[in-house]
Structures are given as structure tokens and as C-alpha cells.
Amino acid sequence: MVFDKVLVLIIGIVGIISTYWFFFMKKSQTIEAEGDTIEIKVEGGYKPDRISIPVGKTTRLVFDRRDPSSCLEEVVLSDFKVRKFLALNEKTTVEITPDKTGEFDFSCGMGMYHGKLIVK
Amino acid sequence: MTNNIKKQTFAIKGMHCASCVYTNEKALKSIPGVTSAVVNLATGKGTIVSSEVVPDRAIKDAVKSVGYEALVEVGESGTLDDKIKKEKAVELKNLKTKTFVSLTIGAMVVWGSFPGIMEIAPAVFKNFYVQMVLAGIVQFWAGFDFYRAAISSLKHRLANMDTLVAIGTTVAFVYSVFVTFYPEFFMSLNIEVMPYYDVSAVIIGLILLGRLFEAQAKAGTGEAIKKLMGLQAKTARIIRGNKEIDIPISEVIVGDMIRVRPGEKIPVDGIIVEGGSAIDESMVTGESIPVDKHKGDTVIGATMNKSGSFVFKATKVGEDSMLAQIIKLVTEAQGSKAPIQRLADVISSYFVPIVIMMAIATFTVWYVFGPSQAAIMAMLNAIAVLIIACPCAMGLATPTAIMVGTGIGAQHGILIRDAESLETAHKIKTVVFDKTGTLTHGKPEVTDVIVTGPYNNQEILKMAAAIEKNSEHPLGEAIVKKAEAGKLSFSKVKKFHSITGKGVEGFVDNKKIYVGKLLSDKKKKEALDLEKEGKTVVYVYAEKKMVGIIAIADTIKESAVDAVSALNRMGIETVMITGDNQATASAIAKKVGIERVLAEVLPQDKEREVKKLQREGKIVAMVGDGINDAPALAASDIGIAMGTGTDVAMEAAGITLVNKSLMSVVSALKLSAKTMKTIKLNLFWAFAYNVVLIPVAMVGLISPILASGAMAFSSVSVVLNSLGLKRVKI
């Protein structure tokens, strides 16, 4: 039967394209830190995952871990030399005072989940 | 302290700033009967003092009224760390149960469905419906966490390991359910009626087993910090008036006089004011031999007093203490990223979606172009692709090795500032040593006493020391020290005066004694020889006649020669930099075994010399005490600060050595080399594993069950390899 093969081929190609679109074409919004504290929900990733913060000022990033997955148990802000364990259902505060502008990545302990700090 | 004063300590959750401390303290003080309330932001704890025990309820309510939560059951020693520890323990226990159950069920299903052994299996195991229920338990109970993590990631349009496992096993399970309920449909398509419950159950079991091993191994990577934290003493015996009282270490303030008895831990950093002892500092400096310390010497908190008893004055407490600084430095280093990790990071952020696309491609190609029974092959191979992909190994490769490496460093008194320094250190080809205080002790000592008149050695030293006792010159101090060390008694000096630019003189036992530069005599050969060796020479005159020559020099550290020769053996060029003149510098360099000497370099020019070496294309490490060579330390590719632990030095240095042995320089470079070797091996393994095995799975050469075994083994092996660093000798 050729019909099923054509169908699978079409579905397969569509599947690959939509996987690409779904994971790689997403646009995330940059959230500006209001005041000196910003709360980041840790559940299946970081929300928000693009955070704009001011240079030269201390900002408190409060990570609120709701996700029991051990993948997200640690948060790493390597440019600020921070690797912190996030207790489940707790808010863990990380204080940073960026001294230069630019984009700085933050991620989970194994570098699978990412977020960005945009220092302006 | 009277007995009716009650003290209660508890944890406060949710504090993050100084104003939280204030609000909590205010709320706690408002509880009737509470006389004082202290809240500590760093430890997250509150302590109240009251005349009667305050009920837990009242504490909780007071703290809650200002928006926080008091954990009264936590008590003195409990913190958020304890909660984390408990959480981890529960997690591990659950994981163990789930792994055991899944593997047991998996084994039953395999027995009932695997050709060759299913013939001897009980009929019940062969029943598809029974298999479905058993595999369902594994899929939705043991595998629940995979679903939960996958779904919450998908909400953010993200994917990870759990997504792969969830998709892979769901496909196998759902297909099997269809086969169970609609066998006729599959028969009509000429597909063998065979469910794959064994695949879904065993995959989940093996991946959970891998996670279990990984969690246990990972716990070992962060051990060093925990050990350092555990070193802290709990109480200090302070002297207040005529009384000695034990107080918690958090209450010790700078200036407190503290008594330490034999066998006790020294609670904080300070200076000995009375008594002395041998002190085991190995836990902080890595130096294995106990150090003798007396009045005026500094002691480090958390080190162990061996034999004697002494009183010291606290100079650094809390966050300023050496131990706290070390913990801070190591924690920061473990949070930093090595440049070598960048590629792995980039890859792992695209990895999972790409694997999903590859799995879809595998299914499609097998289905369209595969042999007969293509649908089954297509499905199994696509599952194998999803399951064998192991992004975790890539993510674990570098950080676990950095954690272990920096931890081992700390145990040996080698503090690495960040992962980048650790990485750079293994590329070092040239080590520049500052002379004074680094290769040498930095304190002048009497090395020779030469007799040129009627008095013997000891008499000359006695006369000179008696005079020099009145002077404040560092060379004079060296003479006095030498005399004191020889237990010589000095006579009183009359009519002491110093002749500027020359020396000092006075009357000792009615003889006129002069100590200083050469007067009118011709220079003696012995003096010339001593000067050639890089020593400073002073002359002793009695009644205007030269009676002796005393040579004073900064002595070379015992470890200098060993360290330089070890570095040379490693193929690393050694260079000495100093402000001394060429002759003196060369004499010392020769003794140490250093060939290249940069002499007559002013402190402010050291930085320029380091840069000059770098322009020669060398990767340079600069070793100094950080006091006047901080710019040179900062300019070098990696600055190594020795022994002092001053803040300036630590700021400028990539590596800080807590102990004074130069062999630590060698150890630091070796540690870097070994850590980098481990990281490279880990990365190679993680990359090669995926690069080789994903295509193997795509072409259908590996079954999904084998794939899950390989996947589990892959991430565990990376962590184990990092832990292997612990056995390395540096």
C-alpha cells in the first residue's frame, strides 16, 4: 500500500517542521525588573526567562521553585559565580550587582533550561 | 546569667533583606515577656530571650503577623539546609522504591513476553491484560515524574530528558494497549499481534536506576563544602572580667579574649596574647605538620589546638573569618563556568528538540523505505533514538569535575577563584616567583658570625645584641632574635646612640661597642664572600677594633628548592623577580635552582616585566604574597597569592594558597591538569556517546531496552569519572 507511506512521509515532514517551529521559533518577552526584586517561577523552565535589570544596582532574583524535577533543583548564574540549590516550594533569593552591561545566561545545573539577564 | 532566663532559637522563612530582620525583631519583641530578639539574615534564624518559655504558637503568630513563617521545630541547629537535606533523603527513598518496583515488574513482563523464556513463564504473566496493568503501574506511577516534568516544560515550549523518556515510553505503551484491545486490526494489516509492555516498563526502570546512581554519586561531588562548613566550632570560651563563660560562636565579637584548652577547636581568627601551643591547621591550610604558635602569632578559626593552652584576642569573626572566606571562595568557584563548557552548553540547549526531529525522521524513513513489518521496526527504532540520547552526560561533564576539583583544592589549602582559573592553570608554561616573602621567608636572619678578634661567636653576638636591643633597625632585630634563640643574656647598655647612616654604639660592660657599617679598615675577604652570596654584612667593633662580622640574609624557604625542581621536571620554566641587585639576586636564584633572574625591578615595574614575558608568547603564572605585587598578579595569566590570605591578594589572584609551602604551587598546577583531563575525558565520552549511538539507533542496530541501559550508564559514568579525581595525588 503506497497511500499509507505517502501519508506517513507527509506527517513525518510536517512533524519535523512543527517540532522545529515549536521549540526554536518561540519568542519570549523581556520583562523589566520593577524595583529591585523580581520573582522567577521555576516550573518546567523559568518564567520570566528574559529579564532586564539595571547595571550597577543590586537586584534580587527570587527563584520560586514549584517543579519537583531534579533537573531544576539548581540554578547557575555563572557570570556572577552563583550556583544555588533551590529548595522545593521555597523562594530562594539570589542577589546580584552587575558591573557591566550585556546579556548573561542563567541556567539549571546541567545547562538544559536557560534564561537570560539583560543588563542595561 | 540567672537560671530563669529562657532562650529560644528557630528558623524564619522568607527573609531576604535587612528590613525583614528589623520587622521580625520588632514583631518578636512585642511578644509579652520577651526581653530581647535577635534575627540573623545570613543564617535565617531568630533568637529570643525571655523570662518564661514562649509558646511556639506565639512565636509563629508574631512572625506570621509581619508576613514570614517561623519554623520553631527547627531549633538551634536546623536551617533551610536541613530542609533541603530532608527533601533529598525523601526524594532518594522514593526513587529507590520506584526503581525497585519498576525493575521487578519489568522483569515479570519480560519473562512473560520474551521469546525463549516466555515458554516457561506462568500463564498469568503471558496474559496481555495482566501485562498492561503491570506496565501501567510503571508507566503512570513510577514514570509520573517524567510526565509532570515533560508537560510543564512543554508549556514553556522547552524539552529535556524527561520529554524524551515520556514520549518514547508512551508510544510503546499506547501501541501495546491498542494491540491488546484490537488484535484483529493488526492481524488484518498482517502485523504480528505483540505488545511491547516490556519495552516501556524496563526503560523506565533502567532510567530510574541510572538517576538513582547519579543522585548518589552527585551528592559526593559537593562534599568538600559540607566538610568545610562542618569545621566551624560551635562555642567559644570567652573571658569576661574574672569569669570564663562559654558562648555560641555567633555571639563572639572582635576584641573578645578567648581561652583555648588542649584538644579544643579554635573558635575564631585571632592573635595569641598569652601562652602557646602546637596547632593542627591541616583542615584549613592542608599543612599536615602541627605549627608551634606563641604570643603574637595569629591563629585561624576551626583549626585544632593540640597540646598547650592559650588565650587569644579575636580579630576576625563571622563572615570575615578565614574559614568563611574560604567557603565563600570555593562556593563561588563552583558556581562559575569553565570556558571549555561553552560548546557543551550550546549543544545541550538545542539537543533535545533535535533528537525529537531525528526520531520522527527515523520513524518516517523506516516506515516508508523499510522492509515488511516496517511499522514495528519504525516504531522501535524511533523509540531507541529517543531513549539513547543522553543530554545529561554533556551537562554533567564539566560542572561535576569542577566541583570535585575545587573541593580537593580547598582540602589542600589551594583556593581556586573560578573555573576559568582552573582551566588556565594547566596551560602555564612559565612561573614567575617574587623573591621576598615568596621564595624567602621575608624576614632577615643571622646566617654567619665570623670572629676577627679575641672574642668568640657567642660573645660577639651578645655584645651586638645588647646594643641592637635599643635600635629599631630590622637587621638589628635579626641579631637580637638570634641571641635570644641561643638563650644568651644581654648586659645593660649605657650611652646608646645611633650614628645616622653608619650604625649604633654604646657602652656594654664598660667597653665601647659599635655595630654597623665598616669603619676605616679594609674590607675582609670573608665579608666579600658573604656579600657575593647575597648577604648583608655588619661589623662589630670593641674599643674601636674590629672583633667580628655578622652576616644577615633573608633565608630561603625549605620548600623553594623542591618546588622549583618539580616545576622544571614538569617542563615549566621558572623565573625570579626581585628588586635586589643582580649579584644578590643571582646568588639566591642559584641556590633555589632558578636560571632566569629579573633583578633590580622596582615593585611598580613587576607588572611590566610580566607583560614582557607574555609578549614572548608565554602563558605566565605569577607567584607572590600579593602585598606589593598585586598588579603583577592581576596582569599575569594566572596570579597565585601565597600564604597571606589578604583581601587584596585574593582579589588579584586566580589561585590563593593558604599555606606557605611552595610545593602548593606545584600541587595547584597538577590539580588543574588532572581536573582538565577529567573534564576532557567526560566531554569526549558524552559527545562520542551521542554522536556514535544515535546514528546506531537510527539504523536499527540497537533495541530500546539496550538503549535505556546505555543511557543510564552514560550519565552515571561521567559523574563517577569526576569523583575519581578524589583519588588523585597532587
pLDDT of residue B528: 84
CA-based end-to-end distance of chain B: 51
Taking the Cβ of residue B79 and every Cβ of chain A, the question of whether any pair is shorter than 8 Å is answered with: no
What is the residue type of B583? Answer: A
Catalytic residue among B198, B269, B434, B637: B434
Confidence category of residue B571, pLDDT binned at 50, 70, 90: very high
Is A12 within a domain? Answer: no
Task: Work out the minimum CA distance from A90 to partner chain B, whole angstroms.
Answer: 8
- Spatial separation of the C-alpha atoms in residues B327 and A1, rounded to whole Å: 68
Buried b (16+ CB within 10 A) or exposed e, B375-397: bbbbbbbbbbbbbbbbbbbbbbb
Are B349 and A114 within 8 A, CB to CB? Answer: yes
Confidence category of residue B17, pLDDT binned at 50, 70, 90: low
- The residue range of the domain holding A107 is 30-119
Is A25 within a domain? Answer: no
pLDDT of residue A112: 81
Is A1 within a domain? Answer: no
- Spatial separation of the C-alpha atoms in residues A20 and A37, rounded to whole Å: 34
From chain A, the residues in CB contact with B91 under 8 A are 68, 70
* pLDDT tens for each residue of A78-113: 888 888 889 888 888 888 999 999 999 999 888 888
Query: Of the ranges B88-102, B466-480, B580-594, which one carries the lowest mean pLDDT score?
Result: B466-480
* pLDDT tens for each residue of A46-62: 989 899 999 998 898 99
Q: Is the peptide bond before B695 cis (omega within 30 degrees of 0)?
A: no
Other CB atoms within a 10 A radius of the CB of residue A98 amount to 20
pLDDT of residue B74: 55
Return the sign of the alpha-carbon dihedral for residues B478, B482, B485, B490.
Answer: negative
Other CB atoms within a 10 A radius of the CB of residue B485 amount to 10
Average pLDDT, chain A: 89
* pLDDT tens for each residue of B429-448: 999 999 888 898 878 889 89
SS3 A101: coil
CATH number of A54's domain: 2.60.40.420
| Highest mean pLDDT, choosing among B35-49, B185-199, B353-367 | B353-367
Which DSSP state fits B265?
B
- Please say if the pLDDT value at position B50 is more than 60: yes
pLDDT of residue B1: 38
Q: Bridge partners of B240?
A: B243
Q: Helix H segments across B370-503? A: 374-388, 391-411, 419-425, 457-468, 474-485
pLDDT of residue B355: 96
**Is B434 a known active-site residue?**
yes
Is A86 within a domain? Answer: yes
Is A76 within a domain? Answer: yes
- Please say if the pLDDT value at position B455 is more than 80: yes
Is A66 within a domain? Answer: yes
What is the residue type of B228? Answer: L
Is A24 within a domain? Answer: no
From chain A, the residues in CB contact with B418 under 8 A are 81
Task: Work out the minimum CA distance from A24 to partner chain B, whole angstroms.
Answer: 8
So what's the ipTM on this one? 0.84
Could you identify the residue written with the cell 498469568? B124
Average pLDDT over residues B514-529: 83
Q: Per the confidence metrics, is the pTM higher than 0.90?
A: no
Average pLDDT over residues B100-121: 92
Q: Residue A112 is placed in which grid cell?
A: 538544559
**Cβ partners under 8 Å of residue A42, min gap 6:** A63, A64, A65, A66, A67, A72, A75, A86
Confidence category of residue B649, pLDDT binned at 50, 70, 90: low
pLDDT of residue B98: 96
Domain count along chain A: 1
pLDDT of residue B724: 93
pLDDT of residue B2: 41
- Please say if the pLDDT value at position B572 is more than 90: yes
Confidence category of residue B648, pLDDT binned at 50, 70, 90: low
Is A48 within a domain? Answer: yes
- Spatial separation of the C-alpha atoms in residues B146 and A67, rounded to whole Å: 12
